[in-house]
Amino acid sequence: MPQAATRFINPNVLARISSLELLSRGVVEGFIAGLHRSPYKGFSVDFMEYRPYTPGDDLQRVDWKLYARTDRTYVKEFQGETNTRLHLVLDISGSMDYTSHEITKRTYCFYLAASLAYLMIRQRDAVGLTLFDDSIRTSVPPRSSKGHLHTLLTHLEEAEPGAETAFEKPLHEIAERQHRRGFVVILSDLLSDPDTLVDGLRHFRFNGHNVLVFHVLDPQEVAFEYADIVEFEDLETGERLLVEAERAGQLYRENFERFQARLRKECALLGVDYALLKTDQPLDHALFNYLSSRARQRT
Amino acid sequence: MSFITPLFLFGAATVLLPVLFHFVRRMKARRVPFSSLMLLKATPKELVKRRRLRDLLLLAVRAAMLLLLTFAFARPFIPQDSIPFVADRQEQSVAILVDLSYSMQVSGVFEQARNALVDRIDAASDGDELSLIRFSDAARQLTPLSDDHALHRSVVSGLSPGYGTTDFHTPLRLALDILQDARHDDRVVVLISDFQRNGFSGSFENFDLGPEIDFIPVKITKDDLRNTYMEAFELSTRRTGDAVALRLDARIESQGQDVHTEQVVDLNMEGELAAQRTVSGTPSSPVTFRQTASRMGFFQGSLSLGEDDLAADNRYYFTVHVTDRPSILAVDRGPDRRDAFFLASAFALGEDAHFSFETGDLQRAAIRDPDIVIVANFASCTEAEIATLLRVARRGGSVILSFGDQTSPQAWSAALQKLGIGTSDRVVTPRASQGSDAIIGQVEERHPVFDAIASGGGILRPVFRRYLRVEPDSGASVLATYDTGDPLLLERRVGQGTVLVYTTSFSTQWTDFALHELYLPFLYQMALYAYSPSGAQHNYAVGAPVPLRGRVGEEWDVQAPDGNVFRVVVDSSGTGFFRETGIPGHYAAARARETFFFSVNVDPRESLLETRNEEEAYAAIAARDDEVATVPEEAALLVRDEEKEQKLWRVVIIVLLVLFVVESHLASRTMQRSNPTAA
């Protein structure tokens, strides 16, 4: 990946950009520019070709500049699926506000969601959005118009911090609402009962959706490099726990590995793609995961 | 407990750093918001308590390490007087040097020095051994190194400053020699002085007091001094007919306060005020007196200045000897008398002449008894002629031999042997042997004969075409040589007189020296020396030896200005030296029918009251190359010795190392917990 593009997508750099639209455009354009120069051209989504105009084609798709040069009418045709419906499902519970560096998990998810939405709308896919904690807080049905991107980003920017995470109710509700098959991307720290998460995912799969789970975590939630005696306070419940960090860290890491292993296993059994994202990773990691997941599931 | 460098104890404040760090870290980590506690498990309270205790222990160990480190740097020691059942401080061997140079005569200064000396003796413990040394430009041990403090005290009252100059090197050397035999390992040199700057000679560059000897400078000082003295003095005589004019030139220097006030200078001759001058009020003023000698013989007088803080240099004593013109007889046996012609041109100057000059034969020498006989161009000397020359020399006259084409080397060889000069074998023509004429090679520059010509390089210009080669006898002195290495001028004391051998000609026969500008000065210096080889000098500095000539075993009685009379015996070299010139003033040396007068004055270098402070003195005398030149206080030296003895810092460092091991152990246990993979 070219260094310039990678640097631009770095989350800590993005945190300085206040406009989500600008941010998402920058991320995606940089990402695509990187793709054009990279050996991963197979993932390109905006590849186009021309075919002669036939009656019934949308006049908006006629390349008028080409017509001016050649005196012939050609229609731009995109290689990507024009009818893909992407539904972004974002966890905005209290635990998503945790950070050990510059940006919280919630912010990181917003960046990622905005970038995915921009990417999809750029290729005329329909993108929907649902924000949830223990219930659905905001839900925007999928659209593919350019103005829809603005709607999505406005909802992201105006989202309030939520309460506790609970997958059972919101996931089932979302699955019920999505009647047409599509691509569901869940962005969450998944710090809740894994059984309810698996039930929700099963519901999506039952409805014929392709599902990609982004397990978004802060680096400290993975490494747990605290020292001395620490009293941890749960961001969602306010519960406190006094631990000797070095001793507790060892146990934490073991528990986390078991937790993640189970999630991977359950997702694999359901045919759901699972990707762990740390908030210090560049966003292009996530975009890659998304595109490769889509390509895999399309085949 | 005390400390050598207590300022390091301020470093103990660094102990606040780990304490602060500990509490800040603890406060910061006390409560941490976390996303979810579902993967965490509470640590049992007992374990938390144990961890807190370990952290506190680690903090305590680290704080203690910092404290001990600053403690070690402060170099702790326990004063011996505070330790029960422990003997007093280590006994010392001390050499105490007291400056008795004449700058210490400044009012009140020597009293301070004496008090300081008494204090030193009183401060010595019974076991301390002391040695007192007095010094100026020479050093003398007053008391042997011993613990008999009564003996040391007994000599103090007899001390008073003399008239010598300051020289620190000699007494310090003596002190080192004395301390070599000291009983105690703790050795100290105490130097009580005003630290005159002129006392620090260049010899200190290679001087090393040694690391085992402590040095304590005790500066005696008095502020706002004013001193006026004579920095230079010159006395010259000029003869016009039978009258002799005396001219005295001096330079008056002032330093300190009121240097711009006018100075009155009195000239005293033969005990009476002869003249008076007022010199302008500048730091350096010349003054000139002119007097006429009313008779022949010795004149003694002095120039004196008004009172100031240092009286010793306010008077300059002088002696001048006004005599009849010395007589020179030149005997030239050359066919054209060319040597006599050149000598007459040099010496026969009419009424203004310094010498009475005539030519003739050796018989006239026997009759007229001249002061100087110059023998030129003799083929050889007969036995009778040699006897005549020896007689002239033995009664105090001088004989100067020169040679020319008439000279027969072999015949002269026997004559020269009888005169004690040596032997001659041939006349040398340097151009034949070395391809060029000879020039002057080496000269005895300090010899009076070469006073006027030795400097400046002009001496290299005359060339010598021929000369008589003389192999000198062991009793003869070679005063100058040619560049071939052969003697040009030789000297031999004979009786009370001198025989000088000039191995070439006075005329242009063998050399062009007679045409050279240095010829006349050379002839006059030689004649003046030949006339009075024993004592043209009548003015000496304090401490300088005064040579007195005479027959072997002859005695001179010398009366000093304080009335004391000293006897000097002439030794086998024909000279006796009077060395008791410790007091400035007029001296009189007498033997059977002759009295010789001379004067002694203080060295004006000591009058320059520029001193060094104790730091500078310490730096010059005791500081090592790697040491900052600061004077340790005496108490500090004692304390330092105690600290050296105890070396408590070593114990502190050992404890520090133990704590370091403990800290490492505690810290590694914590690290193992925080990084289980490392374990």
Contact (CB<8Å) B33/A246: no
- B186 has pLDDT over 80: yes
| Cα pseudo-dihedral B281, B285, B286, B287, rounded to 10 | 30
**DSSP structure string for A112-144:** HHHHHHHHHHHTT-EEEEEEESSSEEEEEEEE-
Q: Cβ-count burial of A35 within 10 angstroms (0-12 exposed, 13-18 middle, 19+ buried)?
A: buried
Contacts of the segment A24-30: beta carbons below 8 A, 24+ positions apart: A24/A111, A24/A114, A24/A115, A24/A117, A24/A118, A24/A119, A24/A149, A24/A153, A25/A118, A27/A111, A27/A114, A27/A115, A27/A118, A27/A283, A27/A284, A27/A287, A28/A115, A28/A118, A28/A119, A28/A122, A28/A287, A30/A4, A30/A5, A30/A284
- B679 has pLDDT over 50: no
Contact (CB<8Å) A234/B42: no
pLDDT for position B669: 72
Residue A3's pLDDT band (cuts 50, 70, 90):
very low
- A286 has pLDDT over 80: no
- List the structure tokens of B483: 């560049």
CB of B509 within 8 A of CB of B339?
yes
H helical segments located in B247-361? 338-347
Q: In this predicted model, what pLDDT tens digit does every residue of B57-93 receive, in sequence order?
A: 888 888 888 888 888 888 887 776 665 555 556 788 9
Q: Which residues pair with B132 in a beta bridge?
A: B96
pLDDT for position A267: 92
Contact (CB<8Å) B42/A241: yes
Taking the C-alpha atoms of residue B200 and residue B198, their distance in angstroms, rounded to an integer, is 5
Q: Cβ-count burial of B158 within 10 angstroms (0-12 exposed, 13-18 middle, 19+ buried)?
A: exposed
Closest residue by Cα to residue A104 from A26, A11, A230, A205: A11
Nearest CA in chain B to A258: B39
Average pLDDT for A193-213: 90
Name which of A235, A244, A248 is nearest B35 (Cβ-Cβ).
Answer: A235
Nearest CA in chain B to A238: B33
Spatial neighbors of B338 by CB under 8 A, at least 6 apart, are B332, B404, B505, B507, B508, B509
Contact (CB<8Å) B52/A229: yes
Q: How many alpha carbons lie under 13 Å from residue A48 in its C-beta half-sphere?
A: 15
Taking the C-alpha atoms of residue B157 and residue B152, their distance in angstroms, rounded to an integer, is 10
Q: In this predicted model, what pLDDT tens digit does every residue of A66-95 receive, in sequence order?
A: 778 777 777 766 544 445 788 999 999 999
Name which of A232, A255, A259 is nearest B34 (Cβ-Cβ).
Answer: A232
CB of A62 within 8 A of CB of A44?
no
pLDDT for position B584: 94
Tokens 């019920």 map to which residue?
A176
- B163 has pLDDT over 80: yes
**Cβ of B677 under 8 Å from any chain A Cβ?**
no
Average pLDDT for A234-242: 88
Spatial neighbors of A83 by CB under 8 A, at least 6 apart, are A125, A126
Q: Which of B39, B41, B668, B673 to mutate to test the interface with A (most CBs of A within 10 A)?
A: B39
Residue B326's pLDDT band (cuts 50, 70, 90):
confident
Q: Which residues pair with B541 in a beta bridge?
A: B601
Nearest CA in chain B to A235: B35
Average pLDDT for A136-159: 87
pLDDT for position A229: 82
Name which of A228, A242, A255 is nearest B26 (Cβ-Cβ).
Answer: A228
Q: What's the distance, Cα to Cα, between the start and end of chain B in Å?
A: 45
Taking the C-alpha atoms of residue B308 and residue B609, their distance in angstroms, rounded to an integer, is 13
pLDDT for position B459: 64
CB of B285 within 8 A of CB of B252?
yes
Name which of A98, A231, A250 is nearest B35 (Cβ-Cβ).
Answer: A98
Q: In this predicted model, what pLDDT tens digit does every residue of B387-422 receive, in sequence order?
A: 888 888 887 789 999 999 989 998 899 999 988 999
- B224 has pLDDT over 70: yes
Average pLDDT for B221-241: 81
pLDDT for position B631: 57
**Cβ of B679 under 8 Å from any chain A Cβ?**
no
- List the structure tokens of B19: 């304490």
Question: Quick one: what percent of chain B has pLDDT higher than 70?
Answer: 89
- B653 has pLDDT over 90: no
Residues across chain B: 679
ipTM of the complex: 0.76
- B678 has pLDDT over 50: no
- List the structure tokens of B559: 């009366």
CB of A275 within 8 A of CB of A286?
yes
Cα dist from B59 to B53, B63, B666, whole Å: 10, 6, 10
Alpha carbon of residue B432 to chain centroid: 48
pLDDT for position A39: 40
Q: In this predicted model, what pLDDT tens digit does every residue of B465-511 receive, in sequence order?
A: 999 999 999 889 999 999 999 999 999 988 778 899 999 999 999 99
